[in-house]
Amino acid sequence: MVDFDNLPFGKVFTDHMLICEYKDGNWGEPEILPYGPIPMTPALHALHYGQAVFEGMKAYRKVDGTVSIFRPEANFNRLNRSAERMTIPTVPKEIFMDGLVELIKLDYDWVPFGENLSLYIRPFLYASSEFIAARPSDSYVFCILLSPSGPYYSGSVKVKIEERYVRSADGGVGFAKAAGNYGAAFYPTRLAQQEGYTQIIWTDHKNHHLIEESGTMNIAVVIDGVFRTPALSERILAGITRDSILTLLNDQNFPIKEGPITVDELVTAAREKRVSEMFGMGTAAVISPISHLGFRDEVIEIPTPDNGLSALVKKSLTDIRLGKVEDTFGWMYDIEKPVQHPTYS
C-alpha cells in the first residue's frame, strides 16, 4: 500500500507507462504497458554517450475531484528543444499529448488529493541503439512515467555561491534538460552540502561574476522591492515555473527586472538588508525559499516572510492548479474523467 501522507519524491510509480520507439527514421506506435523493468542491452547507447533528455511536469487533483495538468504543451515544446540540441529526433505532438492523456486517464486514481501533493509526470527520451561508438544513436525510446509525489524540499534552503565549478557554458547544453547536466552537478553540490549548505548558486563560466541558477531551479531575488531573475540564455534552463511566475507578477504590475544580477550586487544588497526575499523556482519544488546565502567565508541571512511575495505567488499558483480560482491564463489542461472510475463524491 502506498502511504499518500508520506510520499517520497520520485520513488513510487503508477501502474502503467507509455513507451514509443523510434527506428529506421520513424516513430512507431505508442504502447501503454504495465510499469516495470524492460530488457535493455548493456551496450544501450544512452548509458555510454548520454544522449538522453527529460521533462518534469505535474497533474493536480482539483478541489472538484477532477484532474488537470499544468502547462503540458510548454513541457512538450521544451522537450523537443532539448532533443534537438542532443541530436535526438523530436517527438510528434500527438504522440506526446495523446499518450499523456491516455496514460493519465488509465491511472486517474493515482492522482493524489491534497494541497502539497501531485502526480509528477516524467516524459523522457533516450538513445537505444546497441553499439558503442561515439556517434548519434540510430534508435530512440520515448517514455512517460507517472509518480505520485510529495513536496521536493521541505522548508527553506541554505545556498552557497559557487566560484569553482560550473553547470554550463555558452555554446554548451545548459538550456537543455540533458541528463548529463544533472549528474555533473552532483559532485559540487555534495561538496557544498559537506559545508552545511543545501544547494549551490551557479555563476557564469567566464568569471563567476553573474548569478545563473540555484541548484536545479531558476533563481529569483527581490532587491529594493524589484523582482529580479537572470534573463534566459543558452546557459539557463527556460523554467516553466519561472515563466508562470513572471506572467503572474506582470499581471499584478509587480516591478520586474529580467537581466544580469552580479554576485557583487547580490551580496552587497543582502549585506545591506535590501534583499527582502530570495527563492528557487522549479516544477519539482515549485518555490523553494532561501534562508541563507553563503559567499566565501560569509553567511548572510535572508528573510523568509510567511506572507511575502513567494508565499503570495505560491498561493496564486496553487489556487489555479487546484481550481480554486479562474484559470485566466489557460494553463490547466483538463483530463476527462474516465468512465470506468466514476466515483469521487
Distance in angstroms (rounded) separating the CA atoms of residues 14 and 153: 22
103, 146 contact by CB (below 8 A): yes
Could you give phi then psi for residue 141, rounded to 5 degrees?
Answer: -125, 135
Q: Are β-strands 217-223 and 211-214 bridged in parallel, bridged antiparallel, or unpaired? A: antiparallel
Q: How far is the CB of 207 from its own copies (least distance, A)?
A: 9
Does residue 43 belong to the site contacting its own copies (CB under 8 A)? yes
Does residue 2 belong to the site contacting its own copies (CB under 8 A)? no
The 3 state secondary structure assigned to 64-82 is: CCCEEEECHHHHHHHHHHH
Residues numbered 210-239 forming contacts with its own copies, rule: CB under 8 A: 215-216
51, 86 contact by CB (below 8 A): yes
Residues numbered 315-344 forming contacts with its own copies, rule: CB under 8 A: none
- How big is the site for its own copies, counted in residues (CB under 8 A)? 71
Does residue 173 belong to the site contacting its own copies (CB under 8 A)? yes
Does residue 1 belong to the site contacting its own copies (CB under 8 A)? no
> What string marks each residue from 281 to 320 as x (binds its own copies by CB under 8 A) or -?
---x------------------------------------
Residues 1, 147, 186, 270: what is their CA dihedral angle, to the nearest 10 degrees?
A: -100
CB nearer to its own copies: pick between 152 and 254: 152
> Out of 113, 131, 329, 344, which residue is the one contacting its own copies (CB under 8 A)?
131
Does residue 165 belong to the site contacting its own copies (CB under 8 A)? yes
Query: What separation in angstroms does the CA of 31 have from each of 28, 39, 80, 103?
Result: 9, 16, 20, 10
> Out of 170, 264, 298, 301, which residue is the one contacting its own copies (CB under 8 A)?
170
Does residue 41 belong to the site contacting its own copies (CB under 8 A)? yes
Q: How far is the CB of 83 from its own copies (least distance, A)?
A: 10
The 3 state secondary structure assigned to 138-155 is: CCEEEEEEEEEECCCCCC
Residues numbered 179-208 forming contacts with its own copies, rule: CB under 8 A: 179-188, 190, 205-206
Please choose, out of 73-81, 175-183, 225-233, 310-318, the segment that lies near its own copies by the rule CB under 8 A.
Answer: 175-183
Residues numbered 67-86 forming contacts with its own copies, rule: CB under 8 A: 84-86
DSSP secondary-structure letter at 337?
P
